[in-house]
Amino acid sequence: MLGEAVYQHFSPRTTVLATDIDVNADWLEFADVRDYTAMQRSIGEFKPDIVINLAALTDLEFCEKNAENAWLTNALGAENLALIAGKLEIPLVYISTAGIFDGAQDVYNDFDAPNPLSIYAKSKYHGEQFVQSHLREHFIFRAGWMMGGGESKDKKFVNKIFQQIKRGSRELFVVDDKAGTPTFTRSFAAGMFRVIESGLFGLYNQVCGGDCNRYDVAVEFVRLLGLGDQVQVTRVSSDHFKREYFAPRPASEKLVNLKLDARKLNCMPHWKDALAEYAKQYRIDVSGPPATSRHSGRSKISVGEDRH
């Protein structure tokens, strides 16, 4: 979902070679960041001015169960690309996550020390460290709860809500004890481009303005769909989903864009404005009767895997 937003923003402005291990669009070519030799050949043939690493395994539960794969993709893959960029003497962009913090404090700026809890977060933080150690010229962007791509691409929290409503659910159970900062993929891509053009290398928090919890996002999205009177959003704690979502998650992933603000590079909108823009991609008719199933029209919407 982020890859598509980056491609859409960058391709009219520069020549882009877009790759993925899952080639599901005609603008993509196959690549696997775990394969150093193949990546070196592909990047060497294309001769780019910059490499952008969006590759990641982001499902927290999958990473807990498949730790080796997570380390190879999120950490070794990042190191592979950093080494290749270093040999070619070109900068690299790496996308990290607010999940690298432990949630012990309320809000995190660019200078706060990470303390990752999950395999996913630890592997992403190691990716950061590899990039910093191998490359002087780099950009690291820490994202929050990603949203973007619409019904066909979005695998995250907002689309999970939509799909439950589409299937007929009229009550959604949503956690209210996990705080964070939504990040709209289109805004994120535009912000990346702006920072890259500035040439001011370094690490940046880049999230939408404001903060909230999962319940707040669900309520606002349901309202934007015009379904506030038809769909009930019910608060629950994370314990409600502890069997399904067992990977450790910080209580707070709230970020502030301190460095972007200081350098007058922050173009990220408030999360409610971004969600309002994103919600335009969703339309639904719920005029029929609510779902009748063993769940009686009730749905579980958990913290999900809202990472980039």
pLDDT in tens, 243-267: 888 999 999 999 999 999 999 999 9
pLDDT in tens, 12-49: 999 999 999 989 888 999 999 999 999 999 999 999 99
Nearest-angstrom CA–CA distance, 133 and 84: 13
pLDDT for res 24: 86
pLDDT for res 54: 95
Count Cβ atoms below 10 Å from residue 136 Cβ, excluding itself.
9
pLDDT for res 8: 94
Tokens at 233, concatenated: 């959003």
pLDDT for res 305: 35
Domains identified in the chain and CATH numbers? 2-301 (3.40.50.720)
pLDDT for res 111: 98
SS3 string, the chain, reads CHHHHHHHHHCCCCCCCEEECCCCCCCEEECCCCCHHHHHHHHHHHCCCCEEECCCCCCHHHHHHCHHHHHHHHHHHHHHHHHHHHHHCCCEEEEEEHHHCCCCCCEECCCCCCCCCCHHHHHHHHHHHHHHHHCCCEEEEEECEEECCHHHHCCCHHHHHHHHHHCCCCEEEEECCCEECEEEHHHHHHHHHHHHHHCCCEEEECCCECCEEHHHHHHHHHHHCCCCCCCEEEEECHHHHCCCCCCCCCCECEECCHHHHHCCCCCCCEHHHHHHHHHCCCCCCCCCCCCCCCCCCEEEECCCCCCC
pLDDT for res 292: 42
pLDDT for res 293: 38
Nearest-angstrom CA–CA distance, 124 and 56: 8
Q: Which amino acid is at 56?
A: A
Nearest-angstrom CA–CA distance, 112 and 119: 20
Tokens 């030799």 belong to which residue? Answer: 37
Which stretches in the chain have pLDDT values below 70?
152, 284-308
